[in-house]
Amino acid sequence: MSRVMVMLLVTCLPWGAMAATPEDALAYVDAHPLAKPLADTLAQNRVVFVGEVHDRYDHHLNQLAVLRALHQKNPNIAIGVEWFQQPFQAVVNDFLAGKINETELLRGTEYFERWGYDYRQLRPIMEYAKANHLPVIALNAPVELTRKVSKGGLEALSSTERAQLPATINPPDTAYRARLQKIFAVHSKDKTQFEHFLTVQRIWDETMAYNVVNYLQKHPQHQVVVFAGVGHISDGAGIPADVIRQIPAIKLATVASASSPDAPPNSVDHTLPSPLLELPPLGRLGLLLNNQEDSLVVTALDPNSGAVKAGVREADRVVSLEGVTIRNMTELKLVLAQRTAGETVTLVVERSGEKDLLSYAVVLH
């Protein structure tokens, strides 16, 4: 792959402007300086990878800008995303077909348990796909499998579980291994777990590449735009390398936002400007919650949170929030997605040793 950096200047809309709805996002993208020469260049590729830092809204708007520019040139576009896991493809399809709403999409894909990032960042892309009847491919591997591998390696999987992954998980090249080793060292000092971490990374890469290739082979007229973490697409490694290994003659390109820490200059083919753009913060309870038998139990608390000030304690079991019964993280997040910092919500908990349920007015932060 050639190493061409395209740095473009913003003209019409200040990058500090807020794009809080799909409509705002499209207006924002309309002013994006994705110049025609870059769109022409990307359009020549069968696959275009656009990297992201998962919690950067501006990175997702760059993805939308690339998608829209390519779609204007070619109606046969499919979108591959890391955010949804492959077993939930039918749920994604139902959302795009208008058979279920957004809440049902998030419940059905177990989005908050399996991915968890602020869905508002992804909404403009999903709404664009839905409005324009573009397929969205759920690329990722099931998290329950990667969690097992992270603890015990591939041998920890049953034969049925192993069959859900690509037949071969190829080892990384020396440079990719060294890059992953640096990432691992930041988060853990347990060197004995590095090989399992490495295998999980390669499972993600190989599974996403396998699903991209599978779609390409079944839809020879389509171009695929892949949205994934920038670490999966940079330095000629990860998903692009795995796709090339399976289809050696394929033409592809990689794009990242200039602010991506895992995509330094010359690590991708094209770089887009990306000053920080944030959505208004959602309200938070300030609780660390773990799933236990169809319920959420408080395992830790932010000492400065409204929940602590209201009287919530460790080991309390969440019963309801704003009158909505809470059994899992999805139900909790769906309620909080409608609230902002500073609002007061009613949290009901069950506490060991207390006969009655306890109700607290909690100020979100």
DSSP character at residue 343: -
Measure the CA–CA gap between 163 and 182, rounded to whole angstroms: 31
47 and 77 in contact (C-beta within 8 Å)?
A: no
pLDDT for res 161: 97
Domain positions in the chain are: 22-272, 287-363
DSSP character at residue 117: S
Size of the chain, expressed as the number of residues it contains: 365
- Give the max Cα distance, the chain: 69
Tell me, which fold does domain 22-272 have in CATH?
Rossmann fold (3.40.50)
206 and 242 in contact (C-beta within 8 Å)?
A: yes
The stretches of the chain forming alpha helices (DSSP H) are 22-30, 36-43, 57-73, 89-96, 102-108, 111-114, 123-131, 143-152, 159-162, 174-187, 194-218, 238-246, 306-310, 329-336
pLDDT for res 17: 45
pLDDT for res 232: 95
Structure-token pair, residue 324:
């909505």
pLDDT for res 302: 94
pLDDT for res 2: 35
* SS percent in the chain: helix, strand, coil, step 5: 40, 20, 40
The DSSP secondary structure of 254-273, one letter per residue, reads EEEETT-TTS-TTSSSEEE-
3-state secondary structure of 89: helix
Measure the CA–CA gap between 276 and 280, rounded to whole angstroms: 13
Q: How far is CA 159 from CA 146, 150, 154, in A?
A: 15, 17, 10
198 and 134 in contact (C-beta within 8 Å)?
A: no
pLDDT for res 362: 96
Measure the CA–CA gap between 354 and 307, rounded to whole angstroms: 18
Q: Which CATH class is domain 287-363?
A: mainly beta
CB atoms within 10 A of CB 67: 23
Among 287, 264, 303, which residue's Cα sits nearest to residue 349?
A: 287
250 and 223 in contact (C-beta within 8 Å)?
A: no
Among 72, 318, 97, which residue's Cα sits nearest to residue 105?
A: 97
pLDDT for res 104: 96
> Which residues lie across from 136 on neighbouring strands?
79
* Residue spans of the chain under pLDDT 50: 1-18, 35
0.85 exceeded by pTM: yes
3-state secondary structure of 9: coil
Among 234, 237, 215, 235, which residue's Cα sits nearest to residue 224?
A: 215
pLDDT mean across residues, the chain: 89
pLDDT for res 262: 60
- Segment 196-248, tens digit of pLDDT: 999 999 999 999 999 999 999 999 999 999 999 999 999 999 999 999 999 99
The DSSP secondary structure of 323-339, one letter per residue, reads TEE--SHHHHHHHHTT-
- 89-96 helix and 123-131 helix, angle to the nearest 10 degrees: 60
